[in-house]
Amino acid sequence: MVPHNNEIRDILNQVADLLEIKGENQFRVRAYREAARIIEGMTEQVSQMVKDQEDLTRYRGIGKDMAGKIGEIIETGTLGKLEQLKDELPMSLLDLMKIPSLGPRKISHIYNKLGVTTLEGLERSAREGKIADLNGFGEKTQQNILESLGRIKKSGEKRLLWSDAAPFADALEKYLKGITGVRQVRVAGSYRRGKETVGDLDILATCRRGAENDLMKSFVSYEGVKNVLALGKTKSSVILRSGLQVDLRIVAGVSYGAALHYFTGSKAHNIAVRKLGTEQGFKINEYGVYKGEKRIAGKTEKEIYESLGLVYIEPELRENLGEIEAAEDNRLPELVKRSDIRGDLHCHTRRTDGHGSLEEMAEAAKALGYGYLAITEHSRKVAMAGGLNEKELRVHIENIDKVNQNLKGLRLLKAIEVDILPDGSLDLGDSVLRELDLAVGSVHYQQRLSRKKQTERIIRAMDNPNLDILGHPTARLINTRDPMDIDLEKIIEAAKERKVVIELNAQPDRLDLPHNYCKTAAELGVKIALSTDAHSADNLSLMENGIIAARRGWLSKDDIINTRPLKELLKMLRRNA
């Protein structure tokens, strides 16, 4: 099977991790990480680019040697260097990377000093107090490790990010739709609801009579299938090479809408719908809506809702969080669409840790139909990313002005992602911040302060009239790092009082502000900036992830600040209020 971008990315990251655990040259490690990061941000499949003989070295950070390695992965499904490292180190060491407080260097130290190779061995060593005794660790690190191990046990198997599941879902839908006799195919389940993570894929299909056998045989013969768990007439299950389980069900056309509703979920939403049906004298299941023995609806989802006197409820809202009551009263929001977005308010160029120039980012934004793009480089606190001090920022402002002189149809906004320091002050002075079009304030360091101190820190930062947008408010990294311990409701209320916009960061492992708090913010009238935090031109397309998260958060076009034309947007920023 031709590997998807995320599979290529994972192989490159595994090599980087194992090399770093071995203590190899950091330049080699960084080369693999950079290539992985570039591929993660691409919208086009790298395998297709290689097939079309496109030159990958045009991407800054991918040299001739790395391009060859990527070609090897595409051709063989693996990388010789990774296979070599597997012979030298236990692959189970990569499981230790699930612990947020452990990086490759610390894992190397634990491995070399204690012989720990597994999560079980790590827990045993931590409970015996051996981790705390290691140089550079201590009691606090040991306790953090135990807490992280507890969360891993509680959450069970790691779920895929929605964006990582998407290539598999899209490819399977396309493949199944191409089979003779197939009429409808749709991925349902948590994937269709746009949940941040996906455990498996549920696919529903309809086909002409007599085509069922060919459909099921084609499904289990799909090139990405590793194991066939079950092969039946109406249901089959497989495990893909990625480890993702996929279930395919064939349903009758007259029941397709009812089945799609049932298997999309959520369970809580379905129970509430069935209860409402019972109250009205109906029976509702995956085959349809019944009045006695007569089926009165089921062909489409719209029929299901209409039979109960409800307007159609979008899949992203089906969590039993008030959507049924809102549908009864016809007060569901008109959810934001991709076409509503007029610009992006958070991106980086190669001046700090991005991969594109000002001109390249501008052209990519124009291609998306945007009217503006905020260039938000890091401030000096983020030294590892080449963050800007005040003098450097002023030079950068001049460079943006020069580029804007030659731009037509788009304006680059002079901005910064300024760090919020532990005392709540901003990493750059007010005089330079006042020269900008906008400032995004974010926490990148000291994320383990107490709930009270962390909340006060952020609110104090929002007191500064030069901070316009609070960036990725919880600082979470899904599947990797827990959110900061903060009082988000208090922060949202403080944002309302200060007219600060809160960001919904569309990076796949952030999606931060979380969707449930997006709903809270909208109800309070706090505006949201739906931004990608793009680090390359391709990254700007991550807006699609943000749209799904925004829809799960009940956000409409009016709730999002960057659905406005430039002139109106600038008027809405607090510095211009």
Instruction: Kindly state whether residue 189 falls inside one of the protein's structural domains.
Output: yes
Domain that holds residue 318: 255-328
- Going by C-beta distance under 8 Å and a sequence separation of 6 or more, which residues neighbour residue 565? 342, 371
The percent of the chain in helix, strand and coil, each rounded to the nearest 5, is 50, 15, 35
**CATH code: domain of residue 195:** 3.30.460.10
The structural domain count of the chain equals 4
Q: What tens digit of pLDDT does each residue of 71-113 get?
A: 999 999 899 999 999 999 988 998 888 887 788 889 989 999 9
Contact by Cβ (8 Å): 400, 414? yes
Kindly report the CATH number assigned to the domain that includes residue 528: 3.20.20.140
Query: Do 549 and 569 belong together in one domain?
Result: yes
Of the listed ranges 89-98, 286-295, 456-465, 483-492, the one predicted with least confidence: 89-98
What are the Cα distances from residue 91, in Å, to 17, 46, 145, 367, 535?
Answer: 10, 26, 20, 42, 30
Amino acid at 561: I
Q: What is the pLDDT of residues 216-234, one digit of tens each?
A: 999 999 998 999 999 999 9
Range ranked top by mean pLDDT from 88-92, 183-187, 573-577 = 183-187
Across all residues in the chain, what is the average pLDDT?
93
Indicate the DSSP class of residue 203: E
- How crowded is residue 429: how many other Cβ atoms within 10 Å of its Cβ? 11
User: Among candidates 58, 54, 47, 13, which has minimal Cα distance to 537?
Assistant: 58
Question: Quick one: 45 and 83 in the same domain?
Answer: yes
Using the 3D structure, point to which of 250, 267, 293 is the last residue of a domain.
250
CATH number of the CATH domain containing 11? 1.10.150.110
Together in a domain, 81 and 192? no
- Please check whether residue 268 lies inside any domain of the structure: yes
Question: Is 529 within the bounds of a domain?
Answer: yes
48 and 124 inside one domain: yes
Q: Do residues 304 and 324 both lie within one domain?
A: yes
**165 and 151 share one domain:** no
Ramachandran angles phi, psi of 111, nearest 5°: -65, -45
- pLDDT of 196-205, one tens digit each? 999 999 999 9
Residue 157 has pLDDT above 70, yes or no: no
pLDDT, position 158: 64
Looking at the structure, do residues 180 and 71 belong to the same domain, yes or no?
no
Does residue 154 register a pLDDT over 80?
Answer: no
- Using the predicted structure, report yes or no on whether residue 4 has a pLDDT greater than 80: yes
* Least reliable range by pLDDT among 41-55, 122-136, 431-445, 464-478: 41-55
In a domain, 333, yes or no: no
What tokens were used for 239? 């495990």
Find the range with the poorest average confidence among 48-57, 177-186, 524-533: 48-57
Residue 577 has a pLDDT of: 67
CA distance 126 to 96: 13
| 376 and 490 part of one domain | yes
Residue 2, pLDDT above cutoff 80? no
pLDDT class of 243 with cuts at 50, 70, 90: confident
Q: Given a cut of 90, is residue 384 above it in pLDDT?
A: no
Based on the domain organization, do 410 and 270 belong to the same domain? no
Q: What confidence score (pLDDT) does residue 573 get?
A: 93
CATH number of the domain residue 310 falls in:
3.30.210.10
Does residue 391 surpass a pLDDT of 80?
yes
Share of the chain above pLDDT 70, in %: 99
CA 37 to mean position of chain CA atoms? 14
Same domain, 149 and 178: no
d(CA 520, CA 528): 11
Are 228 and 281 members of one domain?
Answer: no
Per-residue pLDDT tens digits for 261-283: 999 999 999 999 999 999 999 99
State the average pLDDT over residues 404-420.
Answer: 97
Chosen domain end from 155, 179, 194: 155
Does residue 285 register a pLDDT over 70? yes
Same domain (yes/no): 298, 423: no
Which of the listed residues 328, 346, 375 is the one where a domain comes to its end? 328
If 0-12 CB within 10 Å is exposed, 13-18 middle and 19+ buried, where does residue 139 land? exposed
Answer whether residue 379 is part of any domain.
yes
Q: Residue 142: inside a domain, yes or no?
A: yes
Q: Which whole-number Å values give the CA distances from 17 to 36, 86, 98, 106, 384, in the listed order? A: 12, 12, 12, 11, 18
User: 406 in a domain, yes or no?
Assistant: yes
**H or E element: which one contains 36?**
helix 26-40
